[in-house]
Copies of this chain bind each other. A is one copy, B any other.
Amino acid sequence: MQLPLFEAVPNFSEGGDSAKIDRIVDVVSAVPHVRVLGLHSDPDHNRSVLTFAGEEGAVLDAAVALAKACLREIDLSSQTGEHPRIGSLDVLPFVPLEGATLDDAARLARSAGERIGALGVPVYLYEAAATTPNRRNLADVRQGGYQGLAARIQDSIWQPDYGPSKLDPRTGAVVVGARPFLVAFNAYLDTSDVSVARAVASKVRERDGGLPGVKALGLLVGGKAQVSMNLTDLETTPLHVALDAVRSVAAEHGASVESTELVGLAPLETVLQTARYYLALRDLDERHVLESGLWKP
């Protein structure tokens, strides 16, 4: 039996200096039994998103090593970026993969938070790892960015979960948490009218009475209306169900889906669901996939 696997998806405040980014990523790759699964660096937002995975101990060690590297390499006070941020290592979510639960990921987040706090930086726990309701929502913790946090860190309800109650302007604070696995799935419409994307998003998202486990926003991206979705309950709402809904609501507005994209990773099961549904391949499972037999540990 394999040990439970976790993913970490740290966001750090450097998106342009590739030598610096490489040094930070190398620290993670150097940890035995850790797999770097992806890196997306965005110079405009001066921000990078790294994805890595492994067993609990390996992911924990890599996350702490990453935090050290970010605190050493990134001087928040000397740089700018469009994206609101509060720290050199800005956000560090842990995600349960195979064999792991959200509670396991929350436990891992707290262990990481404790060790990162001990490096001398304030740490806030969010979402499934939060210690109080007002910290569950990441946007609330980061409200106002570095300046906003600096103004309220002395309030008793904003005492950090770990580390000092004092911000160093070079490193700021770190928000560490646990969240379920999600698939980021965007649909581009054949219109530049963002109001169509917004209408579709509002119709399909769970919050407004749409599909379970679907968050959605209407955006304008590269001149095209985009329905940007996060799918968090793929068993109930697989990609094809979400897309069918987008296609059908878009059609009511005279629009159609031109193409879609995955941002980041999707589990193999997501692709198998699609083949099961469209090809009527009732019994299709992982064991039918050649690479699964060749690669699986």
Interface positions of A (Cβ within 8 A of B) = 5, 7, 35, 37-38, 53, 97, 187, 239-240, 243, 257-262, 264-268, 271-272, 274-275, 278-284, 287-297
Q: Is the CB of B279 within 8 A of A260?
A: yes
Give the number of times this chain occurs in the complex, counting copies.
2
- Within the complex, the shortest CB–CB distance from A244 to chain B, in Å, comes to 10
Q: Is the CB of A290 within 8 A of B267?
A: yes
- How far does the alpha carbon of A261 sit from the alpha carbon of B283 in the complex, in Å? 7
A282 surroundings in chain B (CB, below 8 A): 259-261
Contact call B295/A295, Cβ cutoff below 8 A: yes
How near does chain B come to A185, taking the closest CB pair, in angstroms? Answer: 9
Q: How long is the Cα–Cα vector from A259 to B278 in the complex, in angstroms? A: 10
Whether A271 pairs with B294 at a CB distance below 8 angstroms is no
Q: State the main secondary structure of chain A at its contact with B.
A: mixed
The 8 Å CB contact of A294, one of B37, B264, B274, B287, is B37
Is B290 a contact partner of A262 (Cβ separation < 8 A)?
A: no
Residues of B within 8 A of A295 (CB): 291-292, 295-297
Could you say which residues of chain B place their CB within 8 Å of the CB of A243? Answer: 279-280
A-B contact pairs, 28 of them (CB 8 A): A7-B290, A35-B293, A35-B294, A38-B293, A53-B290, A53-B294, A97-B290, A97-B294, A239-B275, A239-B279, A240-B279, A258-B280, A260-B279, A260-B280, A261-B282, A262-B281, A262-B284, A262-B288, A265-B288, A265-B293, A267-B289, A268-B268, A268-B289, A268-B291, A271-B272, A274-B275, A274-B278, A295-B297
